[in-house]
Amino acid sequence: MKVVVIDYGMGNLFSVRRALEVSGASDIEVTADPSRLAVADRVVLPGVGAFVDGMAGLNAGGFVAAIHAYVAHERPLLGICLGMQMLMDDSEEYGLTAGLGLIPGRVRAMARVGLCGARRKLPSIGWAGLRPGVSGWQGSVLADLAPGQPMYFLHSFHAEPAQAQHLLADYHYDGVPVTAAVRRGNVTGTQFHPEKSGPAGLSIVQAFLVG
């Protein structure tokens, strides 16, 4: 099985690669060449940074059409953090920027106001327990996790899927739900970092490789 990690200059690629290796992937290619997606069985879209820079990187690298072609062939794609946000239609970070449009919805700044009007700190940094979305998470990369399993988050913006069934999981930040994972068919995205969420996070990477 060939796993391709997209290198568009925006990710913690080393940790993602190591997480794939210890999760059993033997043929991993980290590449800036979009034509490599044609021979991939799994694709990971990592990312740290601003949405506008991320999309500029994907566009400049010629990845947008390649990602759409890959997904159209019903093969699994995993977006992580910014990589997850770019799956959506657009983002309002530094002005409105179009995303990949693989999952309907928008990326928005998280509200500074928490439960009961109290101000809360941003970025949201730390370990928070996952809660299944309305459709549950059976058949997804989260299937083997118990509800409430903590994962590591580090973000100020979050995705708001237009359709509730695309919300795979959320978490509560000061009483307000925040999107933790999205899924539409073979496309999955996690706002949290599975490669930085200990053994439970690595089990998600493993599920992505096996599933």
Partner 1 sequence: MPPRLIARLDIKGPNLIKGVQMEGLRVMGDPYDFARRYYEAGVDELLYVDIVASLYGRSKLTEVVARTARDVFVPMTVGGGIRSIDDVTALLRAGADKVAVNTAAVANPDLISQVAKRFGNQCMVLSIEAKAQAPGKWEVYTETGRERSGMDVVDWVQRGIDLGAGEVLVTSIDHEGMRKGYDIGLIAAVAAVAEVPVIASGGYGRTGDLAAALTAGADAVAVADALHYGRTTLAQLRAELGGAA
Catalytic positions: 81, 193, 195
Q: Closest separation between CB of residue 187 and partner 1, Å?
A: 23
What would the x/- binding string for partner 1 be over residues 65 to 94, using CB under 8 A? -----------------x------------
123 binds partner 1 (CB under 8 A): yes
Rule CB under 8 A: choose which of 140, 191, 197, 206 binds partner 1: 197
Kindly tell me the burial class for residue 67, based on how many C-beta atoms sit within 10 Å of its own C-beta (0-12, 13-18, 19 or more).
Answer: buried
One-letter-per-residue 3-state SS of 71-136: HHCCCCEEEECHHHHCCEEEECCCCCEECCCCEEEEEEECCCECHHHCECCCCEEEEEECEECCCC
158 binds partner 1 (CB under 8 A): no
Rule CB under 8 A: choose which of 104, 119, 139, 147 binds partner 1: 119
Nearest-CA neighbor of 9 among 42, 51, 58?
58
Nearest-CA neighbor of 56 among 47, 69, 160, 136?
47
> Does the N-terminal peptide bond of residue 132 adopt cis geometry, omega within 30 degrees of 0?
no
202 binds partner 1 (CB under 8 A): yes
152 binds partner 1 (CB under 8 A): yes
What would the x/- binding string for partner 1 be over residues 24 to 43, using CB under 8 A? --------------------
53 binds partner 1 (CB under 8 A): yes
Nearer to partner 1, 66 or 82 (CB): 82
In whole angstroms, give the CA distance from residue 179 to residue 121.
17
Inter-axis angle of helices 198-210 and 13-22, to 10 degrees? 70
Q: Which residues lie near partner 1 (CB under 8 A)?
A: 12-15, 18-19, 22, 48-50, 53, 82, 112, 119, 121-128, 150, 152-156, 173, 193, 195-199, 201-202
